[in-house]
Amino acid sequence: MSPTTPFNSFVRDVPDFPKEGILFRDITPLLANAEAVEAMAQPVLALQPTHVLGLESRGFIFGSALAQKLGVGFVPARKPGKLPMATFNESYGLEYGSDALEIHTDAFKAGDRVLIVDDVMATGGTAAAAQRLVQRTGAQPLALTVFIELTSLPGREKVEGLPVFSVLRY
């Protein structure tokens, strides 16, 4: 892809998914584009995180690639019951229901600097839950980076004090 091709040509709108009334932004075609990770990495390079926290599930894809690019460790934030050791759990609301995320209680330690990564920020519930999980370990959440930010929804309001970086804004 040339630098002048807009990333939004790789995002498909899927109406009424996962339920009626929701306009889903499908980023699957974007995953085949190596420049997508580069675009997410540029604004966060100077933050010097010690870890990346990737949010289930597409945040794993972007998060692990960003961790590799930044030369830091990757930690997954999983749905409940998926991690084998003691966990912290944070519930959150979605635009179409509710859910929770978990991380191991020893995922981070005081002094760790954590970059939170997901594919899309909508209502901000998932990101806010991730921010609380990082704080519960004693680590510092540095910023949130997402590929798509849905600006018509109040996502940024939910992650007070956390810088938010997005490549595309709808």
Q: Which residues are catalytic?
A: 58, 95
CA angle 37, 42, 45 (to 5 degrees): 110
Tokens of 130: 């991730």
Beta bridge partners of 54: 76, 117
Kind of pairing between the strands at 51-55 and 73-77 = parallel
**Coil, helix or strand at residue 114:** strand
Q: Which amino acid is at 15?
A: P
Tokens of 23: 């306009």
Which CA distances in Å does 45 have to 30, 58, 83, 113, 142? 21, 21, 29, 13, 12
Contact 133, 160 (CB under 8 A): no
Contact 132, 90 (CB under 8 A): yes
